[in-house]
Structure 1
Amino acid sequence: MSAKSQGFPWNLLVGFILSIALTLLAVFVAIYTDFSNHVILWVLGVLAIFQAIIQLFMFMHVTEGKEGIINVINMVNSIILALIIVFGSIWVLTSGHASLH
C-alpha cells in the first residue's frame, strides 16, 4: 500500500460535506426563498451542475490514473456535443427554419 492510501481520506470527507451543503442550499432556495419559479429552477440547475462536478472529481476519481486527462477531455467533448445538439434543435424548431413550403 502506498502512503497516500494509508491516511485518512480527506478528499472523500470534503466531497461529502460539500455535497450535503449543496443539497441543503438547494432545499433552502426551493422552500424558503421568495424567488420566482424560473429563478429557483435556474439556481437548482446550477447547484446540480456543481454537485455533479464534485461527485466526478471527489468520488469517481476521474483525473486519477494514466487516462485521467483523457477522461476529462472526453467528458468536455461530450458535454459540448450534447449542448450543440440540444440548443441547435431548439434554435431550428423555434426560429422557423423548418417551414413546410
Structure 2
Amino acid sequence: MSSNNHELNKFPWKHVIGLALSLILTLIALWVVVSLSLPTVATLTIIVLLAVCQAFIQLLMFMHINENHGRGYRILAIAFGFYIAVVVVYGSLWIMWFTV
C-alpha cells in the first residue's frame, strides 16, 4: 500500500519533460520556417522530421506506450492517436477549404 501511495504522490516529471520537448520541437520548426531561407523541399523535410520526433515523444511520454499494459492497450492507444491526428488534419483542411 505504501508503494502505491508513493506512486500517487509522485510529481509527473515525465509529463513535464514531454511538454518541454514538444515545445522545443515546435519552436525549432517555427524558427526553421521564419528565420531560415531554405528551399521549400528542405523546409518541409525538416518540419516532417520534427513532427515524427514529436509524435514519438507524444506516444512515449503522454500515451504511455512503453509501459506494460498489454498489446491490445498499445494498439488501441496508437489507433486512437492516429484517429485524432487524422481528424485534426482533415478538419483543419476542411475549414481552410470552405472559408476561402
Matched, 1:28 2:52: no
Task: Name the structure with the higher helix share.
Answer: 2
TM-score, normalised via structure 1 length = 0.64
C-alpha distance in structure 1 between counterparts of 2:64 and 2:32, whole Å:
29
The aligned residue for residue 44 of structure 1 is 47
Structure 2 unaligned segments of length 5 or more: list them. Answer: 79-100
Q: Which has the higher contact order (CA 8 A, sep 6+)?
A: 2
Q: Which runs of 4+ in 1 moved over 4 A?
A: none
C-alpha distance in structure 2 between counterparts of 1:58 and 1:66, whole Å:
15
TM-score, normalised via structure 2 length = 0.64
How big is the alpha-carbon RMSD for the aligned residues of Structure 1 and Structure 2? 2.2
The aligned residue for residue 19 of structure 1 is 22
Structure 1 unaligned segments of length 5 or more: list them. Answer: 76-101
For 1:1-101, what aligned pairs fall within 5 Å after superposition?
2=4, 3-67=6-70, 71=74
| Structure of greater Rg | 1
Q: What's the CA shift string for 1:15-47, capped at 9, x where partnerless?
A: 000000000000000111011111000000000
